[in-house]
Amino acid sequence: MQSDSTITRRTAIAAGAAVTVAMAQSASAGKSDNDDTPWIDAHSHIWTPDVDRFPLQPGMTIENLSPRSFNAEELMEIARPEGVGRVVLIQHPPFHGFDNSYLIDACRRYPDTFRMVGGVDDLRPNCGKAMKQLLKQRVTGFRIGPREGITDWLNTSGMTEMWKTAVETRQAMCCLIDAKHLPLLDAACRKYPETPVVIDHFARIGIDGEIRDNEVTDLCRLAAHPYVKVKVSAYYALGKKQPPHAELIPLIRRLCDTFGPNRLMWASDCPYQLTRGNTYASSISLIRDRIDFVTEAERRQLLRTTAEETFFFA
């Protein structure tokens, strides 16, 4: 999801070199129980103003990038002080479409820090082959969602191939959807019960400020499918859209009761979380420090284990 950000290039320059060194030296970042950065952010975007090397898709210019730069080092500069040592990077279709090159490059440079949710165009042939090739480049999930002009978007021939291939590769179908699409997703999960599925941002329940019980019920209904997980994320865009995000706690508790913490994962949705009084710290703090209905082992699942098992297997 998208909004204005307050991160600046000057902020990154101030500590970027130190972060680069730390990332390079941390060959097993986040893997040790004694590491001071054990947590995983299951959803963040990065991009670069180097559009000569990594061109934007037609219709986009460098002026569309807000902030102008939010690269791997800038992300980890704000993540590491909060105990986050690994991140799942999410392909950002508005900027690069289905061109995964920039995120693949980040995963190549920092293989122990990043995994990636990429993009495959399901309207083109050989989606399954593309998925398998991308798995070798640390792409362990794919962002999917409704496409303009396609009503039955979950049943294109390419999407069918993707869901079938994912049973073999274990790459998750990561769904950026609204609550109204949950019944369609439920039907797809019934059709392909062994396909790994991750629902982004609570299915955007509360995006208009209201958390409706019927929508939460629809989301909880997906817990009947054992391969479905949910990202507990994007607080800046949901409910009151301001820290401390307490209005989201009952929703998180209900999901914990229904899915279990082992099928939920915290994520920031940076850099969009960094705006209008929202911070990286306010996002992770809700799970790390403030909810009181989970054990420490369950908190670890929310902040690390679920994302680790879902995305860091290759």
Q: What is the rounded CA–CA span in Å between residue 121 and residue 265? A: 26
For CA atoms 61, 65, 68, 73, the dihedral sign is negative
**Which pLDDT belongs to residue 9?**
41
Domain that holds residue 270: 9-311
Read off the CATH number of the domain in which 191 is found: 3.20.20.140
Residues 6+ away with beta carbon under 8 Å from 157: 122
Q: Enter the tokens of residue 250.
A: 């009952």
The structure tokens 């693949």 sit at 104
Measured in whole angstroms, how far is the alpha carbon of residue 32 from the centre of its chain? 23
Q: In this structure, is residue 193 part of a structural domain?
A: yes
Domain total for the chain?
A: 1
Q: In this structure, is residue 47 part of a structural domain?
A: yes
Q: What is the rounded CA–CA span in Å between residue 54 and residue 166? A: 28
Q: In this structure, is residue 249 part of a structural domain?
A: yes
In order along its 314 residues, the chain shows pLDDT tens digits of 654 444 444 444 444 444 554 555 443 433 445 579 999 999 999 999 999 999 999 999 999 999 999 999 999 999 999 999 999 999 998 999 999 999 999 999 999 999 999 999 999 999 999 999 999 999 999 999 999 889 899 999 999 999 999 999 999 999 999 999 999 999 999 999 999 999 999 999 999 999 999 999 999 999 999 999 999 999 999 999 999 999 999 999 999 999 999 999 999 999 999 988 999 999 999 999 999 999 999 999 999 999 999 999 99
**Which pLDDT belongs to residue 102?**
97
Q: In this structure, is residue 300 part of a structural domain?
A: yes
pTM (2 d.p.): 0.90
**Which pLDDT belongs to residue 24?**
52
Which residue type, as a one-letter code, is found at position 88?
A: V
Q: In this structure, is residue 39 part of a structural domain?
A: yes
Q: In DSSP terms, which residues pair with 47 in a beta bridge? A: 70
Question: Minimal CA–CA distance to 266: which of 278, 255, 274, 258?
Answer: 255
Q: In this structure, is residue 3 part of a structural domain?
A: no
Q: In this structure, is residue 293 part of a structural domain?
A: yes
Q: Enter the tokens of residue 189.
A: 């999960």
Q: In this structure, is residue 1 part of a structural domain?
A: no
**Which pLDDT belongs to residue 151?**
86
Q: C-alpha angle 176/179/181, rounded to 5°?
A: 70
Question: Minimal CA–CA distance to 273: which of 41, 81, 118, 97?
Answer: 41
Q: What is the rounded CA–CA span in Å between residue 228 and residue 187? A: 13
> Can you tell me whether residue 39 is helix, strand or coil?
strand
